[in-house]
Amino acid sequence: MKGVELAIGDLNGVLKGLLEKEVVDCLIIPHSVGNNIAYMLVTDPDKIGGEGIFAPSFSVNAAGLVKGWTIKSKVGLVAKPCEIRAAIELVKLNQIDKESALLISVDCPGAFENQVYADHRDEIGEWIDSAKIEELKSKGVELREACKICSNRLADVGDIAVVRREGEKVVVAALTPMGESALNALGMELEDKDIERKDEKAKIADAAKKNEESLPKIGSIEALEEFLRDCIVCKNCRDVCPVCYCKECFFDQPLGNPVSGDMLNLGVIRGAIGLPTNQLFYHLTRVYHVSATCVGCGACADACPKEIPLTRFYPVITKKVQEMFEYVPGKDVEEPIPFTTYEEEELEDRLR
Amino acid sequence: MVEEAKGEFEPKIIGFTCNWCTYASADLAGTSRKKYPPNTRIIRLMCSGRLDPMFVLRALLNGADGVFIGGCHPGECHYIKGNFYARRRIAAIRTILKELGMANRVRSEWISASEGDKFASVMKEMAAQIKEMGPNPLRGKVL
Ligand code: SF4
Ligand code: SF4
Ligand code: FES
């Protein structure tokens, strides 16, 4: 990879440079809001304070914020790897015009829920290492479940990767021609940088696997019914999901969201129906719809007002489908989504 | 609902069959008086590629004990690639249902218009298997 090593403090200059040199028309980046971190869209370089890019706090999956970005003006998205992976899936789904998006992934140590981060910001700060994660864990302050089972948290996707190095240093590396010309436009001298980090990735994947195995299993349709018992079908989990992108959701239409007469009709057919309607049908449909593209970000779990731990359902189940297709969402923008392609001889052992 | 003893209940199977092959094979089985159990209610699709996995979910959630999907043999789809896409969708929905212990209630087969025998034997086999499994655990639930 071609890249450049910088002091962390110089990252701000890079971000500002992207706007000043008109590499992008705007940036969507994390910034501080009171005691917490949220995203902002910024066009004025002077508004970039720089804090929060690595902060281990998860608010929304930022790919969802650029869903539908098919205009010619260019956006630069600075976000965690799971968010950039979701953005890459959206490119494949024609929901983002790749020519109009410069995707910049930053290393993620694993994140805390927004509220948890706010409550412990003094202790956590702008970055957290594994020793500190363990220390906080012993006090009952834990990473999000999705982050504990994530094995892809090191920056290696998008056009540019921002990699943490010992001693408050970062490497900014170009992963694509678009990324390289962006860095060139900033007048950076690029040299070969190794940001592969195979061993570290293997270790992370190992820990993630163990954590996933220790999650309570759903295991049966009755268990799923119980798991979703408190769901009020508010569809927040759909709305925050970066890869749930249908413009007209079935569950907003009369069959999926029946009201009055339609609801009564269903009741007449079935004798009795649970309300709000279609709890199980909604989630089973959604899990199928995101089965190839779910990046396991856990945004759905964070957004659930009933605190249903949806990470135990969506990422866990969809992973089985992704393994079957040997597909890692967001890994490669050129690789087609499994449902849009086929091989003439395949999967016969999965049909009966 | 009264628990029906395993093996004694009559399963309800919803079959989604392609107009050009499996639906015709069912016809052929009928006209040539092949015997098979009457558990399957058939819904005709123009192609297995029309099978939205939501159909499968809806059938199961409405209490069907089994779902059968029939299409043309790979390479023989009337619309060239419909069953190739269908195969991926079916494999995916079955993978999800497997995690929930429901995959063995969903079966698909490629049966051409001339394979009335195959249709009858698949129906027989599937009815027996599902009888053995017992009723859909969602049957009778307020969902
Ligand atoms: S289903 Fe949940 S975990 Fe998967 S991509 Fe959507 S929000 Fe993220
Ligand atoms: S966010 Fe929670 S309550 Fe709302 S639909 Fe999703 S699971 Fe149900
Ligand atoms: S026409 Fe029979 S499967 Fe497509």
- Tens digits of residue pLDDT in A53-109: 999 999 999 999 999 999 999 999 999 999 999 999 999 999 999 999 999 999 999
Q: Is the dihedral of CA A261, A264, A268, A274 positive or negative?
A: positive
Of B89, B93, B107, the CB nearest to A352: B107
For B65, which DSSP code? Answer: S
Q: How far is B61 from chain A (nearest CA, A)?
A: 7
Those residues whose C-beta lies under 8 Å from the C-beta of residue A97, and which sit 6 or more positions away, are A69, A70, A71, A72, A91
pLDDT at B140: 85
What average pLDDT does the segment B20-33 reach? 91
Half-sphere exposure of A248 (CA within 13 A, CB side): 3
Residue pLDDT, tens place only, A194-245: 999 999 999 999 999 999 999 999 999 999 999 999 999 999 999 999 999 9
User: Which of B101, B119, B94, B117 is CA-nearest to residue B109?
Assistant: B119
Which residues in chain B have their CB less than 8 angstroms from residue A344's CB?
A: 74-75, 84
Which residues in chain B have their CB less than 8 angstroms from residue A225's CB?
A: 138, 141, 143
Of B57, B87, B95, the CB nearest to A320: B95
Pocket mutation for ligand 2, best pick of A218, A225, A230, A232 (most atoms within 8 Å of C-beta): A232
Which residues in chain B have their CB less than 8 angstroms from residue A250's CB?
A: 54
Strand order in the sheet with B66-71: B40-45, B13-18, B66-71, B106-110
Q: Is the dihedral of CA A239, A90, A320, A198 positive or negative?
A: negative
In chain B, the residue whose alpha carbon lies closest to the alpha carbon of A343 is: B84
- Rounded distance, CA B120 to CA B35, Å? 7
pLDDT at B5: 52
Question: Does A273 touch chain B if contact means CB atoms closer than 8 Å?
Answer: yes
- pLDDT exceeds cutoff 90 at B35: no
- Interchain CB distance below 8 Å, A351 and B108: yes
Which residues in chain B have their CB less than 8 angstroms from residue A317's CB?
A: 96, 99
pLDDT at B60: 97
What average pLDDT does the segment B20-26 reach? 92
Pocket mutation for ligand 1, best pick of A58, A61, A153 (most atoms within 8 Å of C-beta): A61
Pocket mutation for ligand 1, best pick of A147, A148, A151, A295 (most atoms within 8 Å of C-beta): A295
Which residues in chain B have their CB less than 8 angstroms from residue A342's CB?
A: 81, 84-85, 87-88
User: Which of A169, A146, A156 is CA-nearest to residue A295?
Assistant: A146
Question: Does A216 touch chain B if contact means CB atoms closer than 8 Å?
Answer: no
pLDDT at B1: 42
- Distance in Å, CA A232 to ligand 2 centroid: 6
Question: Does A280 touch chain B if contact means CB atoms closer than 8 Å?
Answer: yes
Which numbered ligand comes closest to the C-alpha of B111? 3
- pLDDT exceeds cutoff 60 at B6: no
Residue pLDDT, tens place only, B68-82: 999 999 999 999 999
- pLDDT exceeds cutoff 50 at A2: yes
Provide the total of helices (H) and of strands (E) in chain B, helices listed first. Answer: 4, 4
Instruction: Determine the distance from the C-alpha atom of residue A211 to the mean position of all C-alpha atoms in its chain, rounded to a whole number.
Output: 19
Residue pLDDT, tens place only, B103-113: 999 999 999 99
Q: Is A156 exposed, middle or buried, given 0-12, 13-18 or 19+ CB atoms closer than 10 A?
A: buried
Q: Strand pairing partners for A120? A: none
Determine the straight-line distance between the first and last CA of chain A, rounded to whole angstroms: 46
- Distance in Å, CA B23 to ligand 3 centroid: 10
- Rounded distance, CA A263 to CA B5, Å? 33
Q: What single-letter amino acid sits at B103? A: A
Q: Hey, what are B121's tokens? A: 């034997």
Domain B2-133 has CATH 3.40.50: yes
Task: Note the pTM of the prediction, 2 decimals.
Answer: 0.95
pLDDT confidence of B27, banded at 50, 70, 90? Answer: confident
Residue pLDDT, tens place only, A290-328: 999 999 999 999 999 999 999 999 999 999 999 999 999
Asked whether the beta carbons of A297 and A82 are under 8 A apart, the reply is yes
Residue pLDDT, tens place only, A121-178: 999 988 998 889 999 999 999 999 999 999 999 999 999 999 999 889 999 999 999 9
Q: Hey, what are A143's tokens? A: 């990473």
In this structure, the residues whose C-beta lies within 6 A of any atom of ligand 3 are: B 18, 20-21, 47-49, 71-72, 77-79, 82-83
pLDDT at B2: 43
Long-range CB contacts (< 8 A, 24+ apart) of A19-22? A19/A43, A19/A44, A19/A45, A19/A48, A20/A45, A21/A185, A21/A186
- Interchain CB distance below 8 Å, B143 and A350: no
Asked whether the beta carbons of A249 and A256 are under 8 A apart, the reply is yes
pLDDT at A1: 85
The percent of residues above 90 in pLDDT, for chain B, comes to: 83
- pLDDT exceeds cutoff 80 at B123: yes
3-class DSSP assignment, residue B66? strand
- Rounded distance, CA A76 to CA B4, Å? 61
In chain A, the residue whose alpha carbon lies closest to the alpha carbon of B125 is: A352
Task: Give the residue carrying structure tokens 């009858």.
Answer: B120
- Angle, CA B38 vertex, CA B43 and CA B125 arms, to 5°: 95
